[in-house]
Amino acid sequence: KLTKKMYYAKLSDVVDRLNKKEYIKKMIMEITSALHYDVFSSNKALIERKNNALSDIFGL
């Protein structure tokens, strides 16, 4: 009788075995920093446009 066995590996174990932990951590930090910067910059532009729109509407 054929049986199916499922094998699972923890991602942290795989990363440790590949000796890439510091590299992956660095890449995640760089990506997170870039995303944070992009989101902040976009929100800043939206806030400025909203303020300009309110000024136009109310003649401020």
Q: Can you say how many angstroms the Cα of residue 56 is from the centroid of all Cα atoms in its chain?
A: 35
The rounded distance, in Å, linking the Cα atoms of 29 and 36 is 10
45 pLDDT band, cuts 50/70/90, is confident
Q: How far apart are CA 15 and CA 26, in angstroms?
A: 13
pTM, 2 dp: 0.46
pLDDT band at residue 58, thresholds of 50, 70 and 90? confident
Distance CA 53, CA 55 (A): 5
Question: Which pLDDT does position 60 carry in this prediction?
Answer: 58
Tokens of 31: 């990506």
